[in-house]
Structure 1
């Protein structure tokens, strides 16, 4: 099978093979490297520097400026659909650039988190334990390629839809370039915008998918950890000292899990906070465009854009809810272990450990609000408020008039 040879980490490994949780981020970290935000390799120093300069200049830094400049220069020439398409992408472009800069500053934490995953892997001795991690690794990589497909479909469908009507996708401003002057300049601008959007989508996949790629193997380890907790005290032949030693090892395992979350917490806090701030507004513009102005081709592009925007927060918010449930399962698993007949020292240690397990692992967005499904719903509900406001104020009818945006 071709895919199996090209992307082996997309498929579960055999239970006899050792667990490699870091493979859940294998393709993600390769793409982070191609974002041009890591230290240049010695063998390709100049090539990497040039690629990093071109990609980040076009996608990270100039693209948001180009959107605003395009509004100022050609606002009177925009149709309502073009205006809303550019507005929805402009807000998302600024958020994407901000998230890229956050990851740029903190990307070394990804390798630190992988080193902690390596430490967790050493505790896996049974085939059923390794099987859970192998499944999480393959699922994580498939999600990454799913994200990549959706984002690239949006960029390509928007490009095809726009050029088929004889205009660049977003009509950004480029100095000394007038796409109306000639076909050559038209295709040059359309190509520049397409390259910038492909680069932005490529970056967006990395900065949106990394929390999922790291949390999925963590959840597999937490399920294995719950099984180990249930087995505490079940061996009738072990001495009180051995039982207590196993309990201490489990406490150490829990500390490793918490250290893993603390390593990723600053990156997740920044990127999710930025996205939750703009998701409602972006979706609001997209819904207005789909319902009131877009033609068939534009609706396809807008729907793929809406899917991409929802993928930026929804899957990880769902995972955070599952992670909370996993923490409660750990407390239940420890309580279900055989502790009633143990010595007093064992019981005191277990009670303290149980209190620690009852505190769920929570990720905060900008240290302001909890990342959860409820928060995500509250943020996305704002899009309906934007749509309702536009309907009540008859803004759609005003935009449809020829002089509305002159």
Structure 2
């Protein structure tokens, strides 16, 4: 990360594709892709083990525990198992959606970003790209911190309380028999949970990185529009050529937005379906059942759930605002004294720019803060319903 935070020096400027630098490292670590495209038997075995433990064993074990050992669990343990069980319903589906699109379209995204970077000739534009790449990697590391905090806090607080962290069904090890068995059973649960945490921050962080890079290039285009016809030494043909290049840049941005939709919309749709109910269960556990120490991992889990939707929903609202600002900038650019050909191209550009870039979850509702807040209200509805029934 430090190479992204150093003083900006021209030869060391990062391209837009560097926004996925840490994501791609995790892809290699998790067996999603091989370094330099070279698969070895060991990497194939590791990839199969990761998928089997995180997408098969863990979700299956959670549901078996919920139906088999429910009577032996405390209220806090029951709520923890329930919230994890609901989350594991969405994890394999989100993972499948991302992996399905990743191998077909990720290289196209990077190729398109390289074409967009070719227009960043000025030093100020390269500096801006570098700063946005830094923001992307900082955001990705923030996801790592939140997910790691939840995993570590849940593990050690559960151990100190004499229980296994996530109560995954394990017929081979009796965790209540002695301390050694407790530690062994806890580590057996920790291994797949680590794999799930890494893949979840990859799945949930990827849409945010795509959105931040999109914002960067919209702002760069707006900067170029502001400079149209600002140089009195340029002829009408040169000004028109600059305008045509801006139109081409905008078409690339629209192409990029269309390319990333299959990554974004289904994943956010699945998360919207689950986040309200999971937050409600977590709040009930936090307010009514958990003791002082158990509230720490539950609080971390709530923050984790918020991070899965809120940052990207906020980014979507900002993208819409950036598109509106771009359209206004085109209208207010210096075109009054231009020739007829320039004004015709300007009108075409303005009409296209008024097509605001939006994303929809499952083609049902718009992704944004207003939708995110409506989904979050479901959590308080769940708490109110349980409170009215006197169940807590």
Matched, 1:330 2:326: yes
1:250-329 aligned within 5 A: 250-329=246-325
Cα deviation, residue 215, structure 1? 2.1
C-alpha separation in 2, matches of 1:57 and 1:43: 22
Cα deviation, residue 111, structure 1? 2.5
C-alpha separation in 1, matches of 2:349 and 2:342: 10
| Residue of structure 1 equivalent to 2:115 | 119
| Residue of structure 2 equivalent to 1:403 | none
C-alpha contact (below 8 Å) 1:284/1:384 kept by paired residues: yes
Cα 1:168–1:10 change in 2 (3 A) is farther
Cα deviation, residue 17, structure 1? 3.9
C-alpha contact (below 8 Å) 1:151/1:201 kept by paired residues: yes
Cα deviation, residue 378, structure 1? 0.6
C-alpha separation in 2, matches of 1:221 and 1:17: 19
For 1:190-226, what per-residue CA distance to the aligned partner results, in whole angstroms no more than 9, with x for missing partners? 1111111111111111001112222223222221211
| Residue of structure 2 equivalent to 1:80 | 75
Cα deviation, residue 105, structure 1? 0.7
C-alpha contact (below 8 Å) 2:16/2:117 kept by paired residues: yes
In structure 2, the gaps of 5 or more residues are none
| Residue of structure 2 equivalent to 1:401 | none
Question: Match for 1:45 among 24, 27, 40?
Answer: 40
| Residue of structure 2 equivalent to 1:220 | 216
1:23-42 aligned within 5 A: 23-38=18-33
| Residue of structure 2 equivalent to 1:233 | 229
**Bigger shift: 283-292 or 88-97?**
88-97
In structure 1, the gaps of 5 or more residues are 397-406
C-alpha separation in 1, matches of 2:71 and 2:343: 75
For 1:46-79, what per-residue CA distance to the aligned partner results, in whole angstroms no more than 9, with x for missing partners? 1111111121111122211111100121110111
Matched, 1:386 2:382: yes
C-alpha contact (below 8 Å) 1:15/1:128 kept by paired residues: no
| Residue of structure 2 equivalent to 1:347 | 343
TM-score normalised by structure 2 residue count: 0.95
C-alpha separation in 2, matches of 1:149 and 1:257: 31
Cα deviation, residue 285, structure 1? 0.5
Matched, 1:203 2:180: no
C-alpha contact (below 8 Å) 2:66/2:82 kept by paired residues: no
Cα deviation, residue 342, structure 1? 1.5
Tell me the number of residue pairs that the alignment of Structure 1 and Structure 2 aligns. 391
C-alpha separation in 1, matches of 2:362 and 2:83: 23
What CA RMSD, in Å, does the superposition of the two structures yield over aligned residues? 1.8
1:139-154 aligned within 5 A: 139-154=135-150
Cα deviation, residue 177, structure 1? 3.7
Cα deviation, residue 175, structure 1? 4.2
C-alpha separation in 1, matches of 2:233 and 2:319: 35
C-alpha contact (below 8 Å) 1:37/1:52 kept by paired residues: yes
C-alpha separation in 1, matches of 2:38 and 2:262: 32
TM-score normalised by structure 1 residue count: 0.92
C-alpha separation in 2, matches of 1:111 and 1:181: 52
Question: Match for 2:370 among 370, 374, 380?
Answer: 374
Question: Match for 1:176 among 172, 186, 190?
Answer: 172
1:391-406 aligned within 5 A: 391-396=387-392
C-alpha contact (below 8 Å) 1:10/1:142 kept by paired residues: no
